[in-house]
Structure 1
Amino acid sequence: MRDHSKNRLALITGRYAARQQEKLAGDRQAFDDAFRAARDAVIRPVLDEIAAELRSAGHAPRVACDEAPETPSIELLLGIRGVSAAPRGDLIAFSVIQRRAAPEILAYLVVRPPPMDLLRFASAAEISAYQVEQLVVDAIEHIFACRSI
């Protein structure tokens, strides 16, 4: 079996195990607390660094956290120079959602055309700075491409 396939299977089974563990624990508060910890330690520093780069290119990005108990999240609003502020547009976000039995962390972007889910995490422990950086830079490229049309 190729290493790539082995790595994918390890990721799939790891996510499954994490979901089962979270499901058995049934503790949404612990899940949200783990997300907030990952948000503050991993996601926010990456978004702040990317926002600084966008600022140096003349844009007006902003990082915002939603502390609502039912929907903890963090967003990078791009503030693209020369584009009028679209309500709830041109942003990349990470948010806790619960559309299934166990909560998940959803990474998504909002741009015209409609919003697009990027990646789901079964637990906050899966989130790495490398993943966040790559995902956000790819999403920014997509948003700028949509705005260039």
Structure 2
Amino acid sequence: MNEHARIRLAIIQRKYGARLSQGTRGADLPDRRERFNADFRRTLADILVPTFEAIGDELAASGHAYRLEHDVGEQTPSLEFHILLRGVPVDASNLIRLFSRADAEGDGEVIAEVNVGQTLTELTRFRALSRITQDVAEQMCVDAIEHIFACNAR
């Protein structure tokens, strides 16, 4: 083994070895996941809902409509952004959805997806909630709306 790899291995063992040997790996997992979900609820309230409402209001100004629903059928925080396009049946599935997955590795993750005509497409995943900024939320939402419009314009 070369010296560089040996040094890195020693650093890794010093950094993580103590935690593994103490048996605390995963002991605080429920608390961490609860904190993750609480933080995600704050992100929903502070960033995602206002961003989606502003985008929905822009769509409404063009004659479309939208509906936001919270925690639909979930045990974890979620947000559904229903896009109701003018000229498209009301029961059409045009949905942008974000939800927390507490059973993910680590603290949890947020999955963003778009559902058009019963075809589900994953947009992205967030393990670090700090990455969900207004700019990121806006861009993700506008990209998903473009997909929704394109699929319905066929």
TM-score norm. by structure 1 comes to 0.77
Counterpart residue number, 1:128: 133
SS in 2 for 1:101: coil
Counterpart residue number, 2:23: none
Q: Cα RMSD (Å) of the superposition?
A: 1.9
SS in 2 for 1:105: strand
Is the CA contact 1:77–1:91 (under 8 Å) kept in the aligned structure 2? yes
Pairing 1:90–2:94 present: yes
Counterpart residue number, 2:21: none
Counterpart residue number, 1:42: 47
SS in 2 for 1:115: strand
**Deviations, residues 14-34 of structure 1 (Å, cap 9, x unaligned):** xxxxxxxxx685221111000
Q: Identity, % of aligned pairs?
A: 33
Counterpart residue number, 1:63: 68
Deviation at 1:82, TM superposition (A): 1.3
Q: 1:62–1:53: structure 2 CA closer, same or farther, 3 Å change rule?
A: same
More off after superposition, 24-33 vs 138-147: 24-33
**Deviations, residues 61-117 of structure 1 (Å, cap 9, x unaligned):** 111111766221112100111111236x20111110145323210111010361101
Deviation at 1:124, TM superposition (A): 1.8
Distance, in Å, in 2 between the alignment partners of 1:90 and 1:67 is 15
Amino acid at match of 2:87: G
Distance, in Å, in 2 between the alignment partners of 1:119 and 1:135 is 9
Counterpart residue number, 2:104: 100
Is the CA contact 1:31–1:123 (under 8 Å) kept in the aligned structure 2? no
Distance, in Å, in 2 between the alignment partners of 1:28 and 1:113 is 30
1:147 maps to which of 115, 134, 152:
152
Distance, in Å, in 2 between the alignment partners of 1:147 and 1:46 is 23
SS in 1 for 2:34: helix
Greater gyration radius:
2
Is the CA contact 2:126–2:132 (under 8 Å) kept in the aligned structure 1? yes
